[in-house]
Structures are given as structure tokens and as C-alpha cells.
Amino acid sequence: MSSLLSELSTSQTLAAIDLGSNSFHMVIAEQDENGRLQLIDRVKEMVRLNAGLDQDGNLSEESQQRAMECLDRFSQRLRAIPPQQVRAVGTNTFRAARNADEFIARAEHALGHHISIISGREEARLVYLGAAFSLESSGKQRLVIDIGGGSTELIIGKGYKAITMNSLYMGCVSFSRRFFPQGKITLKRLQKARLAAFYELEPVTQHYLRMGWQEVVGTSGTIRAVDDLSRALGLNQDWLSNKSFPLIDEYLIKRRSANKLDHISEQRMPVFAGGYAIISAIFKALGLERLDCASGALREGVLYDLNGRLQNHDSRDQGVDAIVSRFGLDMEQSERIELTCLELLDQVEEPLQLDQVVHHKLLGWASRLHEIGISIAFNQHHKHGSYIVENSDIDGFSRQQQRLLALLIRSHRQKFPSGLFQGLSEPTRSWLQHLAVLLRLSVALNRSRSGTPKDQVTLKVNKNNLQLSIDRMWCEDHPLTVMDLELERNYLKQAGIEVKIKQR
């Protein structure tokens, strides 16, 4: 249950795993009594997962096997850490591969932990968070750039908060495969790669230039490798400068092959040219003169985000709040629904084996967002709302978590969509259906939108059935609600879920 939604814990060891398109990273930290983190271990392996994508978008068995061997090694280090204090995230290649579901199942088995597949925007947010915690707080607005194996993230933020985020579909592995096959480097190929990068950058360039920044930070191994090569070629400065690129261009063209690059690690060589073309294009498109390298990146961002959850500062709450604000939802009604949901959950969580922390959170988020579809149309708004939630970028959420939240919203009214639950594995299907029933009952009980029926309703589990008892006087004052509850009972009965309703 807790593999999909992190819960509170008292232990002090945390681990974050970043399963990138080029490299897999793991960082482990100890948390002191004030909640501060101290890194105690760091592991990195170049897996080049994106290089294993064939023309049909499927991951090859060879690339999958490299990943499994790495994850098996990671799992050995994680054995002594409680599962709720470990978070693993998958990025671009996990999002893009056509056979991703099969691969993720194998990867989770090898690692021994759930893997959250995060959106490009969430990846960007976590990259910024990792960079921000590794830098001194300057109070300046900063641009953060991260070039991964399959995507490039651009983020403008201030302090620890990201303001503007974009994930672009270009990375050091994908560009190296596309423009520098067999590692051959020519001026024409460099120009084509940069042109393709300009094409990806064009939709966001003007927005970023209008936003502005006072400092620029790079976080990826690609950028550090370019910085190292720049210094090796004679530019003696502690930052990456736009003066570096003519020197590196000349050096690469003379070498003619990515396999003959001095000052570049053997593991980095096959993907260096593609990453270099991207960062040089970003410098030109955004008019950059200087970039400083930061030690923190996605894995550190995941670590600090996990620590926030353990400290009850959950970024997912902030993400839901942002969606609520954007769509102008009726917060008073959402609060009524949430209060009723959580009261009902408290009454049945033990016999239904529901989790007080995990399921409270999910049900609370669903309560706050259940009417989001009304912004499109009242008719079928549960379907509209489900689509919005599943396809929006919501800070802190993985794709799997958003699908569960969207399914709850899809299920909160009208015919119960039993078929949509069939694709879920046990025990997820069971507890999610229970939460959906609680949400439906809560929505019906608050039809009047005028006051929560606190202390008027009790819910009990009788064998495999739910029994809802309501104060008779309250029912007489709310006849439409009683009619709605009877309708709900019939909908649920058609789905094989028995809910008995009686007045007392």
C-alpha cells in the first residue's frame, strides 16, 4: 500500500534513486534531530538505457539486462532501510518506452522497491530543488539547466521554489545516436545537432528571456564534462564560458571521433557530442555568458522532497493547492466532502485494512479536486475531471499516483466504473474501490452544499457489506440527499458492492 504514497516514519536513513536515461544514481543520507540531511553514500552507474531504444520505441533485452544488474546491486545497499524511506524515480526513457510496463515490473523486482514514473515537469522541479539545496542562498533569480540522456530541463526559480519549468525532448544519448552515429564528429553534424536543439528551444526561449535571471547553474554530468574539457583546452576559469565553444568545436572536429577524446571519461565519450551540441545551443539561444556547476541534481531533489514528506511538508499538498487555485474550485464544498470522507474512513479503516496516513491523503486530495471537471461542463464532469487530473502536471506526484487520483474522481458519481479497476493489481484494486465508495457517499451526503452532516451518520462493516446509518430527523430535513443515497446504493449494487442504508 505504502509503495505508491509515502508515509511518515521515525527512522533517520533516507535513500533516493534517480533512474535516468543515461545514468542510474543512488544517494543515501542520514537525518539529524533537526531534520537536516547529511549524505553518507553515493553510487553512480552509466547504464545508457536510452541507447537501448529500437526504431519501434522498445527497450532491447541487452539494455534491460544492464539495468537489472545495476538495480540488483543497488538493492543490496537498500536492504537495511525501511521501504517508506526509499524513493526511486524513473525519467524520460521510462516515460517513452513502448514496453515500459513490462520493464518497470522487472525493474521493481530487481530493486525491491516501487519506481515512480515522473513527468518532465516534475523532473524539472526536483532538479531545481536538488540544485537549490546544494547552493548558497543568494536571493537571486537563477536559471538551472540539466541535460539528461533523453531530456533537457530548464528551470527558473528563486530560493528553493521553482517558478517556470520546462522539459524538452532532447538529451545527450538521444542526440548522440541521432546526429553522431558510430561516434563520427564533423562540423556539418554539429551544425545539424545545434539546429535541432534550437528547434526544441524555440517555443520557450522568449518566455525565459522575459522572465530573466541573475545567475545560471548547470547540474548534469554533461555540463561538468564540457566545463572540464574547456579548462583542459586552456580556459583557466571556474565557470563555463561562451568563449569555450569555439575552442571545443575546433577540438572535436580535429579529433573526428567521440572515441578519441582526451580529458573525457571512457563512459562519457559515446554521449559527449550530443550533450555538447545541446548546451552550446542553449548558450546561444538564451544569450548566456557564464554558467556555474552545482553538485545537486535530480537525485538530491528526490531526497529532499522525500525528507519533506517525512517532516509532513508534502509537495503534493502544494501541488493540489495550485490546481485548486488555478481552476477556482468551491473550497467550502471541497472541505465539507473531505471532512465527511475522513470521518467515514476513521470508522471503517480497521476492518477494511485501510491505512490512516496513506489513504487519508489520497482521499483528501480526491475530495478537494472531485469537482474540477465542472470547469469544462457540469454534464459528465467526473469524466472531465479525471482527464484533467491524469494529464496535468501536479507538483510532487508520480504518473502512477495521478492515475489513482484520477480514477477516484472518475468514480465519484453516476455509474460505478468497475471495469477501470480491473487493470489494477491487488491489494490496490481493493482499497481503491473502498475509497471510491467513501467518496461517493460523502458527495451524496453533502448534496445540499450547506453543512456537513457531522455526527448524523455512522458507517460500519458487516461481513462484506457496508452499513450506513443516518439520523431520522436529519433525513426528514434532507429528502433530496436521501434520494441521492438510494440512487448510490443502486449504482453500487450493480457493481457488486453492497451498501445498506437505514434510518435510526
Secondary structure of residue 210 in the 3-state scheme: helix
Whether the CB-CB separation of 303 and 132 falls below 8 Å is answered with no
Among the residues of 146-268, which ranges form H helices?
172-179, 187-211, 221-232, 244-255
Q: How far is CA 105 from the centre of its chain?
A: 18
Judged on CB neighbours under 10 Å (0-12, 13-18, 19+), 118 is buried
Q: How far is CA 26 from CA 68, 185, 385, 457, in A?
A: 14, 32, 36, 48
Does the pTM exceed 0.95?
Answer: no
CATH number for 13-118 (one of 3.30.428.10, 3.40.640.10, 3.30.420.40, 3.40.470.10): it is 3.30.420.40
Of the candidates 395, 398, 396, 25, the residue with the CA atom closest to the CA atom of residue 220 = 25
Task: Identify the CATH class of 136-293.
Answer: alpha beta
Mapping DSSP onto H, E and C, the string for 396-424 reads: CCCHHHHHHHHHHHHCCCCCCCHHHHCCC
Q: How many CB atoms lie within 10 A of CB 102?
A: 13
Strands (E) located in 302-414: none
Rounded to the nearest 5 degrees, what angle is found at the Cα of 225, between the Cα atoms of 223 and 229? 120
User: What's the CA dihedral at 182, 183, 186, 190 to 10 degrees?
Assistant: 110
314-449 fold:
Hypothetical protein af1432 (1.10.3210)
Cα(162)–Cα(219) distance, rounded to whole angstroms? Answer: 15
Phi and psi angles of residue 47, each rounded to the nearest 5 degrees, phi first: -100, -30
Question: CA 335, CA 343: separation in Å to the nearest integer?
Answer: 12
Q: Which three cell numbers stand for residue 383?
A: 469524466
| pLDDT the model gives residue 4 | 41
Of 30, 11, 15, the C-alpha closest to 75 is 15
Cell numbers given for 378:
457540469
Q: Where are the domains of the chain?
A: 13-118, 136-293, 314-449
Q: How far apart are CA 381 and CA 387, in angstroms?
A: 10
**pLDDT tens per residue, the chain (504 residues)?**
334 443 333 448 999 999 999 899 999 999 877 767 889 999 999 998 988 888 899 999 999 999 999 999 999 999 999 999 999 999 999 998 999 999 999 999 999 999 999 999 999 999 999 999 888 877 899 999 999 999 999 999 999 999 999 999 999 999 999 999 999 999 999 999 999 999 999 999 999 999 999 999 999 899 999 999 999 988 877 889 999 999 999 999 999 988 888 888 888 999 999 999 999 999 999 999 999 999 889 999 999 999 988 888 889 999 999 999 889 898 999 999 999 999 999 999 888 888 767 899 999 999 999 999 999 999 999 999 999 999 998 999 999 999 999 999 999 999 999 999 998 888 899 999 999 999 999 999 998 888 767 778 899 987 668 899 998 888 888 888 889 899 999 999 998 889 998 888
Q: Let me know if 255 is exposed, middle or buried by CB neighbors in 10 A (0-12, 13-18, 19+).
A: middle
Rounded distance, CA 24 to CA 50, Å? 12
- Of the candidates 286, 317, 95, the one whose C-alpha atom is nearest the C-alpha of residue 208 is 286
Q: Report CA Rg, the chain.
A: 26
Closest CA to 100 of 46, 24, 49, 153: 49
| 451 DSSP assignment | -
CA distance 468 to 438: 11
| Residue 202, φ and ψ in degrees, nearest 5 | -55, -45
- Which has the closest alpha carbon to 357: 336, 342, 376, 379? 342
What sign does the dihedral 343-345-348-354 (CA atoms) show?
Answer: negative
Q: 59: which 3 cell numbers?
A: 527497450
**The pLDDT of residue 48:** 87
Calculate the CA dihedral of residues 470, 476, 482, 486 and round it to 10 degrees: 80
